[in-house]
Amino acid sequence: MTLTEVRQFLLELDLRPSKALGQNFLIDGNILQIVVREADVRSDDVVLEIGPGLGTLTAELVSRAAHVFAIEKDPRLAEFVRKNFPDLTLVEGDATEVPLPYCDKVVANLPYSVSTTVLERLVEAEEKPRKIVVMLQREVANRLVASPRHKDYGALTLFTQLHYHVTIVHIVSPSCFYPAPGVESAIVSLDHRTPRIPLEPGAPFHELVRSGFSHRRKMLRKLLAEFGPTEEDYHAAGAAPTARAEELSLEQWIRLANALNRGTTTIS
**pLDDT score for 265:** 40
Give the number of other Cβ atoms within 10 Å of residue 266's Cβ. Answer: 10
The answer to whether residues 246 and 153 touch, using CB atoms and an 8 Å cutoff, is: yes
> Cα–Cα distances in Å, from 134 out to 50, 93, 137, 154, 205?
9, 19, 10, 20, 25
pLDDT above 60 (res 266): no
Query: Average pLDDT of the chain?
Result: 93
**pLDDT score for 2:** 82
Domains and CATH numbers, the chain: 3-192 (3.40.50.150), 205-262 (1.10.8.100)
Beta strand 67-72 pairing with 89-92: parallel
pLDDT in tens, 225-251: 999 999 999 999 999 999 999 999 999
pLDDT above 60 (res 268): no
**pLDDT score for 5:** 84
What radius of gyration do the chain's Cα atoms show?
A: 21
- For 18, which DSSP code? P
pLDDT above 70 (res 98): yes
The answer to whether residues 34 and 170 touch, using CB atoms and an 8 Å cutoff, is: yes
pLDDT in tens, 200-223: 999 999 999 999 999 989 999 999
